[in-house]
Amino acid sequence: MSDLFSAPWHKRSYERFLNEQLPRLLAARLPLAGYTVQPEDEYHCQVSVEITVNDHAIAVDYPHLPQPDELGLFSLDEQPYVVIPIASQEYLEQASVQCVGEQMHAYLAARLGQASAEMAWDEPVARAFLPLDGWFHDFLHATAQRLDTTNWYSRHTHLRRLLIPSRKKVVAPGQQGRVDPFETPEGPHIARVFTIALGAEIRGETIDIVDDRPEAGLGQNAAQIPFIEHDDANRLLMGVNMMRQAIVPKVPEPALVQTGNAPEGAGADFWCGRNLLTAFVAWGEGSTEDGLILSESCARRLDYPYPAEPGDKLSNRHGTKGVVGQVLPDDQMPHLADGTPVEIVFSFAGLHARMNFGQIREALMGRIARAEGQPAIVPPFHAPTAEELHARLVANGLPESGIERLRVGKNGPEMPYPSTVGWVYWYRLNHLAKDKLRAIGEPEAAGQSAPTETDVAPHPVFPPWDTGQMLDSLDLNTLRQAGAVHITREALTTRSARWRKTPATQSESGAAAMQFTPYFLEMAERLAAAGIAMLLEKEHLVFRFSQPEAVNSVRLTRRQRHPWLRESREAKVTTVGAPPPGSSSAALRAFTALV
């Protein structure tokens, strides 16, 4: 089974480039007398080139050139990288595909000139004319992508990825059987990034179908989804994408319901989830929208890297994703008739809009597998019928419909509505509430160059010497939509990590002037350096020409018309201002995103 998930075309393409395409290109462009390739280690090789000079030849060695391992991975800066194959068009039956070897050949061919017959060759001239080591380095650092090592799914998806940068149609003939229809990004890159189907391979420069069974047309992630035929395609797209975001637990727990497509020797890196007793029922504010209610014991089971808490994100294989709204004691959760507490509650109201009923059938099959004491195997497109599920439920002493009325608490009152309940495999995603809350504290001691930051690495937008709370545009937009005007204003000013108590931000009494945010002030400083005054007059932004101040500016030898105001005769500058100290292009982009 492990051979299904490999991507041998990376290694094959590179070896073809090194052993066939590159020497052929060199022979066409210069007087090549000899060419050899010697491996150094798993990730490096040496290329030796001999060039004819009159009646003899000069040898030039290029040691330590990068080469991929058997998986197709390069080691750059001691990290794994992969070069993604590129298809010429979305009609994949007709498309030509350039893997790493073909891409590198095109890169070198565009840079290697035609040597003249009169060229006086020696080693320095040869290295200058043919800087193979520099070209190899530049190509990989510009083209290779750092491998997504979040988990097994992310690594193997990355290795089997295909790019179609010039596609015009989302769905085109020739894609079925060659790429997984579900493993593609949401948003503008949909159908520009695909995953090679398990029953297809890149051979030479084409994608060939080697297994035409329907299930072979899936990618490695979709092949792990039981009851896949009962889920809407849009939800499957989300499901396979979220599987790549699953956090790897310390101890693996195989799914109760499997497809039979797990790789041999699958461990924690593959089994990233937990089988949770799931009730599909609306139950208070914690289950509204995409809210999830967890029991305390369930939250402790999701202890990687720490027990789950409100604000964390979970998903299952069927594309249901939700945010933990509440974590309740076990004795306050809904219970089965035998006193077993439910571990997770998700409202059934979300199922009809999402049309991913495969999770309902997984829940029932999960109860059957639990009762029978062994995992249930449900291959893609070969799921048991509803009648077969009902018969197996009855055979194991379970309600025939799979629906029952739960109790609130072990001996509490019955819930007003019956619900489907059973074991579903859930993932904890790498979207954790703690990672969304960022703040920078004051320096611990005088003279410390940078303050300490709570729980996170330095933020790319904010200078390291600022202190305070850090919010992104999504957080601020959420506050605005909630009507939290004063909190939003404070988040942008006195509590902001970019807030500085300067004369421009203080009133006469010393209180912070709330109308100007740090972003506004920095933008105003940048525009002032360019000769534009940005003012707030009667709640309207006004822009005027204003000669940059002499401080921190450069005087021009003669007056110049302002490049943005060429039609104005008065807009002539004599000085050019300097950007504000400590400012960055990232800060400018952040301000632009906010306004």
The predicted pLDDT at position 86 comes to 98
User: Where in the sequence is the domain holding 493, given as residue range(s)?
Assistant: 437-511
307 and 425 both lie in a single domain: yes
Q: How do the residues of the chain divide into helix, strand and coil, expressed in percent and rounded to 5?
A: 30, 25, 45
One-letter amino acid identity for 332? Q
389 and 498 both lie in a single domain: no
* Cβ-Cβ contacts under 8 Å for 175 (sequence gap 6 or more): 90, 92, 181, 194
Q: Is the distance from CB of 357 to CB of 280 less than 8 angstroms?
A: no
CA dist 276 and 262 (Å) reads 20
CA dist 289 and 347 (Å) reads 8
Find the CATH number of the domain harbouring 411. Answer: 2.40.270.10
59 and 100 both lie in a single domain: yes
What parts of the chain have a pLDDT lower than 70?
Answer: 1-2, 438-470, 494-518, 549-552, 566-570, 578-595
The predicted pLDDT at position 571 comes to 72
Cis before 305 (ω within 30): yes
CA dist 572 and 378 (Å) reads 75
471 and 534 both lie in a single domain: no
CA dist 132 and 250 (Å) reads 44
Given 488, 511, 534, the domain boundary residue is 511
The predicted pLDDT at position 441 comes to 59
For residue 85, is it within any domain?
yes
- What burial letters (b/e) apply to 29-67, b meaning 16+ CB within 10 Å? bbebeebebeeeeebebebebbbebeeeeeebebeebbb
Closest CA to 433 of 275, 306, 294: 306
CA dist 359 and 427 (Å) reads 13
Find the CATH number of the domain harbouring 158. Answer: 3.90.1100.10
Task: Scan for tokens 């059957």, then name that residue.
Answer: 368
For residue 157, is it within any domain?
yes
For residue 238, is it within any domain?
no
CA dist 167 and 42 (Å) reads 36
CA dist 88 and 63 (Å) reads 33
* Cβ-Cβ contacts under 8 Å for 178 (sequence gap 6 or more): 92, 93, 196, 197, 200, 207, 209
* Cβ-Cβ contacts under 8 Å for 296 (sequence gap 6 or more): 327, 328, 329, 330
For residue 443, is it within any domain?
yes
For residue 237, is it within any domain?
no
Q: How far is CA 582 from CA 497, 586, 588, in A?
A: 14, 11, 12
Closest CA to 526 of 443, 583, 486: 583
List residues bridging with 47 in a β-sheet. Answer: 37, 62
104 and 184 both lie in a single domain: yes
The predicted pLDDT at position 462 comes to 39
The predicted pLDDT at position 539 comes to 75
350 and 330 both lie in a single domain: yes
The CA-based angle 187-193-195, given to 5 degrees, is 125
Within its chain, how far is the Cα of 108 from the centroid?
30
173: three-class secondary structure by DSSP: coil
171 and 259 both lie in a single domain: no
For residue 299, is it within any domain?
yes
Whether the model pTM is above 0.85: no
Q: How many domains does the chain have?
A: 4
265 and 286 both lie in a single domain: yes
536: three-class secondary structure by DSSP: strand
101 and 206 both lie in a single domain: yes
Task: Scan for tokens 């819930």, then name that residue.
Answer: 415
449 and 422 both lie in a single domain: no
Other beta carbons within 10 Å of 453: 18
Backbone angles phi, psi at 485, to 5 degrees: -65, -50
347: three-class secondary structure by DSSP: coil
156 and 272 both lie in a single domain: no
Given 511, 536, 556, the domain boundary residue is 511
Other beta carbons within 10 Å of 374: 9
CA dist 58 and 412 (Å) reads 90
Helix H or strand E encompassing 532 = strand 532-537
Both tokens of 135, joined, read 């070209």
175 and 198 both lie in a single domain: yes
Given 409, 431, 453, the domain boundary residue is 431
For residue 323, is it within any domain?
yes
